[in-house]
């Protein structure tokens, strides 16, 4: 499916706005994860503003696509994107991690309409997603299931049980999206517990594999469309992303995995994002 240059620019500008909201809400909270959410902003923007069949005014509609966030610690980017998409007011983002808020540090399904699962402990999301996709097949339903995973959580065995089940049952209505940013809480993945050769492992479990630049929205959307055309197996998109994307001083720095910005950081970073917005508008976002 062709996507126009105008639409791509619109999505890039929206992603920039979401990064602004992310930084603001994390600074207000004084706690939370920064690097992963910034790195996944382009993908969440593409999902909520182009890919998903969903309705913010009717978040539980039966024929909606299911989006499962397995690595729940990056949920600030999902909250920010959902707010921009109209699920709840932008002002509510300032309640992140506050007592009694719907915006918990890890997502809770019963607190927030449109949140398909509760997640915190890593490694469960793919098995849950495979179950959803399998149930859709039993029901003859057309909706699709998308599962977002971190690369670090691929070190959890339950992920591969889900992968084996999905591959065995040829769940072509399931697409997994891996945030391949190469970091985890205490270092680089290939130093902590190497994952490569990652593509070969997924192929061995009978998955169709696509590798993309996770910050190239057009390339990512093309991969989603390709996944829809694969009918005999599930698809995994290995999205290569930069943790902390958009803020040069923290990109690829794993120490920002679970650290929020200070007020001083926020002021510098918002200025950097304003500059980037101007470049996007001028057609020079490289």
Angle, helices 5-29/217-229, rounded to nearest 10 degrees? 110
Q: Quick check: 1 pLDDT over 70?
A: no
All structural domains of the chain: 5-281 (3.40.50.970)
- Give residues with Cβ within 8 angstroms of 121, minimum separation 6: none
Reduced to 3 states (helix: H, G, I; strand: E, B; else coil), residue 257 is coil
Q: Which helix (H) or strand (E) holds 29?
A: helix 5-29
State the average pLDDT over residues 146-163.
96
Q: Are the C-beta atoms of residues 236 and 223 closer than 8 Å to each other?
A: no
- The model's pTM is 0.96
pLDDT tens sequence across 224-260: 999 999 999 999 999 999 999 999 999 999 899 899 9
How is residue 255 annotated by DSSP?
G
SS3 86: coil
Asked if pLDDT for residue 13 goes beyond 80, the answer is yes
**Cα first-last separation, the chain:** 24
Average of per-residue pLDDT values in the chain: 95
Alpha-carbon dihedral angle through residues 276, 280, 284, 286, given to the nearest 10 degrees: 60
pLDDT for 67-117, tens place per residue? Answer: 999 999 999 999 999 999 999 999 999 999 999 999 999 999 999 999 999
Q: Which two tokens stand for residue 222?
A: 């093309």
Confidence of residue 186 (pLDDT cuts 50, 70, 90): confident
Rounded percentage of the chain residues whose pLDDT exceeds 90: 91
Res 2 pLDDT > 80:
no
- pLDDT tops 90 at residue 187: no
């Amino acid at each position: 499916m062709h996507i126009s240059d105008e639409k791509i620019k619109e999505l890039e500008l929206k992603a920039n706005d979401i990064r602004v909201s992310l930084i603001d809400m994390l600074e207000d909270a004084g706690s939370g994860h920064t690097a992963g959410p910034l790195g996944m902003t382009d993908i969440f923007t593409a999902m909520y503003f182009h890919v998903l069949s969903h309705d913010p005014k009717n978040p539980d509609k039966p024929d909606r696509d299911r989006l499962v966030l397995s690595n729940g610690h990056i949920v600030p980017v999902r909250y920010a994107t959902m707010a921009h998409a109209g699920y709840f007011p932008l002002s509510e983002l300032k309640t992140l991690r506050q007592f009694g808020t719907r915006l918990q540090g890890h997502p809770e399904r019963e607190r927030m309409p449109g949140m398909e699962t509760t997640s915190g402990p890593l490694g469960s999301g793919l098995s849950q997603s495979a179950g959803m996709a399998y149930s859709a097949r039993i029901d003859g339903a057309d909706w699709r299931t998308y599962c977002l995973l971190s690369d670090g959580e691929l070190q959890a065995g339950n992920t591969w049980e889900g992968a084996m089940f999905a591959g065995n049952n040829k769940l072509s209505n399931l697409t997994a999206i891996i945030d391949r940013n190469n970091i985890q809480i205490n270092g680089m993945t290939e130093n902590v517990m190497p994952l490569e050769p990652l593509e070969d492992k997924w192929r061995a479990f009978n998955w169709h594999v696509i590798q993309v630049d996770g910050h190239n929205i057009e390339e990512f959307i093309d991969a989603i469309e390709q996944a829809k055309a694969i009918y005999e197996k599930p698809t995994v998109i290995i999205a290569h992303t930069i943790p902390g994307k958009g803020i040069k001083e923290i990109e690829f720095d794993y120490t920002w995995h679970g650290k929020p910005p200070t007020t001083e950081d926020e002021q510098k970073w918002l200025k950097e994002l304003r500059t980037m917005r101007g470049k996007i508008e001028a057609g020079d976002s490289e």
